[in-house]
Amino acid sequence: MDYKWTVLSNTTLGALMASINGTIILISLPVIFRGLNVNPFLPSNLTLLIWILMGYGVVTATLLVTVGRISDMYGRARMYNMGFAVFAVGSVLLFLTPNSGSVGAWELVGFRIVQGVGGAFLFANSAALITDAFPHSERGKALGINQVAALGGSVVGLVLGGVLAGIGDLHLGSLVIPTWRIIFLASVPVAVAGTIWAYVKLHDVERVRERHRIDYLGNATFGVGLTLLLIAVTYGLLPYGGQSMGWSSPWVWSGLGVGTALLVAFLFIETRVKDPMFRLNLFRVRAFAAGNLAGLLGSIARGGVMFMLIIWFQGIWLPLHGYSFAETPFWAGIYMLPMMGGFVLMGPLSGWLSDRFGARYLASAGMGLASAGFVLFLFLPYSFPYWQMGSLLFLQGCGMGMFAAPNTAAIMNAVPAEHRGAASGMRATLQNAGMQLSLAVFFTIVLVGLASGLSGSVSSALGSAGVPSAASSTLSKMVASDPSGALFGAFLGQNPMALYIQALPPALQSQIGPGVLATLTSRQFFPHAVAPAFLQGIDTAFEISAILTAFAAFVSLMRGGRYIHELHAPVPREGPAPTGPSPSTPGVGAPVVSQR
């Protein structure tokens, strides 16, 4: 087949695999912790839990721009192929994790970081390789298919993790493969096959720029600065000094301050070195700057809220509808599928339309649709009819699909060929960093809402259930002082109320009779007790997301007419793109100017 389709199919496989591995672990964490014989609810293991959840994303986000720049210098296909190989090695190491207990869990974190390094090479180069291989009149369609894999893979990962976690140990004669290893084994054959395929078939169609020097100072300030910033934000979610979160920790504030200072220094350095890591003057191109800003705002708006929706399913809606807490991780992934359906429908279609009519109005309408969806989420009761939630998830997926492919195509069209790797890395960095920041911001917002409302709602529920006053008071204080424990308990497939009762002193446990205990540990008690306080927090998150996506739609509208930085006549207006060079094609090196 044509080389461009080889590029699209391989990069789509790479993006799908990297995206699936970013979320497959979320649903399967209970099985993994049981297989390793690790109790994730012990305070000493909270740091471990956070790193397993977010380490992959933090490492990927901090490497993307550096990887993109190196790929511009030494060959995008070469670096992409190396990334596939590194990802395959990480997958094999995860499957072969030698130890159990906390040592084995930290080995998992390390091997996930290896995977994250490989994923950075895949994410940073996918869009650049597609842009190199496809003419501008087909890039939107191709990038739309790739974006469906990259974003849709996160939903596939949730479902696949749930499916693999439920199949049990694999018996091959005398060899028994535990379930938790099967979860990591699933990506090994795909990663190895993709690596071989990439090395055999992919090559660079754009010239490499080996004479340029690596900007070590710029790479160091950017990488270390963003890493410190994201790690500080991550540790802000951990308890500190008797408080349920760590935002008062001097280490968190030091990380935020030093990380921000290094990123400011990076901006200063990049304007003064001969061969910068990233050419900041690309942000003078309105299509590039507006597209990246709109993408960042959209990532911040949706990343953490989607995670909160999963917790809404697992901790409240599914138990209220008859599902045991142990079943909720898998079914939460299943019930999120309408969002993927909307994205699969609109991603390629909007990419194809953007090839003909430009990105401006399609991308802006997509963000507007997402904003409307967040507003409509505000009207859902905590025990909603599923058709209402399913419809809104489908609407969100359609909005994401309408935005993602046209916006990516517009960003990549706006940069010179020699900077496509760095530009793709910057786009992916802003998107991934936005997702990481979103998780921290909205998790904090929901926890604050829970903390302010849990004491009253839980105390009232405990009193109605007939819990003696001493045990009721202690339980209420435990839940109110540790809202993150309630959320993580539900997220990990455990009944949080049963965990709190186990933590009571024996004297207070003995005061709770068998009938009352059965009521407290039933599927319905915890959801009804925490739902009012949870809605208070998540409604605030929906409001902020609605504002951010509305602003993103406005920014997207400000991108101006189509800007295609290639050696053919400029596209004069927002309309069908020419299919070939104009008779007035500028000479080599002539800039292309958009009409705004």
DSSP letter assigned to residue 579: S
The CATH label, of 1.20.1250.20, 3.30.365.10, 3.40.47.10, 1.10.1370.30, for the domain at 286-566 is 1.20.1250.20
φ/ψ of 168, rounded to 5, equals: 85, 175
What pLDDT is attached to residue 64? Answer: 83
Interval 314-340: pLDDT, tens: 888 998 898 887 778 778 878 888 988
Q: pLDDT tens digits, the chain, 596 residues: what are they?
A: 588 888 889 988 888 888 888 778 877 888 888 888 888 777 677 778 778 877 887 888 888 888 888 888 888 888 889 988 998 899 889 989 998 888 988 999 999 999 889 888 888 888 888 888 888 788 888 888 887 777 777 777 877 887 787 777 777 777 878 888 888 888 888 888 888 988 888 887 766 555 667 778 888 888 888 888 888 887 887 777 767 677 788 888 998 899 899 989 988 888 888 877 777 888 888 888 899 999 999 988 987 787 788 888 888 899 889 888 777 877 887 888 898 888 888 888 888 888 888 888 899 999 999 999 999 999 999 899 999 999 999 999 899 889 988 888 888 888 887 777 888 888 888 888 888 788 888 888 887 777 766 667 777 888 888 888 888 888 877 777 777 777 777 777 778 888 788 878 888 888 888 888 888 888 888 888 888 888 888 888 899 999 999 999 999 998 876 666 653 334 334 444 444 443 333 333 334 434 33
What pLDDT is attached to residue 542? Answer: 92
The CATH number of 1-203 is 1.20.1250.20
What pLDDT is attached to residue 1? Answer: 55
Say how far apart CA 525 and CA 84 lie, in whole Å.
47
Strand partners, 243: 240
What pLDDT is attached to residue 566? Answer: 56
Of 302, 332, 334, nearest to 318 by C-alpha is: 332
| 13 token code pair | 């496989």
Say how far apart CA 267 and CA 278 lie, in whole Å.
9
Say how far apart CA 575 and CA 356 lie, in whole Å.
6
- Write down the domain spans for the chain: 1-203, 215-276, 286-566
Say how far apart CA 342 and CA 134 lie, in whole Å.
25
- The upper half-sphere exposure of residue 219, i.e. CA atoms within 13 Å in the direction of its Cβ, equals 15
pTM over 0.75: yes
What pLDDT is attached to residue 195? Answer: 87
SS3 213: coil
What pLDDT is attached to residue 568? Answer: 37
What pLDDT is attached to residue 126? Answer: 85
Q: Beta-strand (E) ranges in 167-297?
A: 170-172, 175-177
What residues contact 460, with CB distance under 8 A and at least 6 apart? none
What pLDDT is attached to residue 580? Answer: 42
Q: How does 373-382 read in b/e, with b if 16+ C-beta sit within 10 Å?
A: bbbbbeebeb
SS3 240: strand
| Domains 1-203 and 286-566 fall in the same CATH topology | yes
| 571 token code pair | 């596209």
What pLDDT is attached to residue 511? Answer: 82
Say how far apart CA 493 and CA 334 lie, in whole Å.
15
